[in-house]
Amino acid sequence: MQGNLKILFAGPTGAGKTTAVSAVCDGPVVSTNESATDMTRDLKPKTTVALDFGIAALGGLEPIHVYGAPGQERFSFMWDILTQGGSGLILLADASRPRPIDDMIFYLKTFEDYICESSKLAIGITRSDVTTGPGIAEYRSALHQLDLDPPIMKIDARNKQDVTKLMMALMASMSPILVRKQAEPAF
Tally of domains in the chain: 1
Q: How many helices (H) and strands (E) does the chain have?
A: 7, 7
What CATH number is given to the structural domain containing 89?
A: 3.40.50.300
Most distant CA pair in the chain, distance? 56
pLDDT tens readout for residues 38-92: 555 555 555 555 578 898 987 777 789 999 887 776 666 667 877 888 889 999 9
d(CA 129, CA 83): 30
Contact assessment for residue 70 and residue 47, using Cβ atoms and an 8 Å cutoff: yes
- Domain holding 10, by residue range, is 5-183
Backbone angles phi, psi at 7, to 5 degrees: -110, 135
pLDDT tens readout for residues 10-27: 999 888 989 999 999 988
* pTM for this predicted structure: 0.83
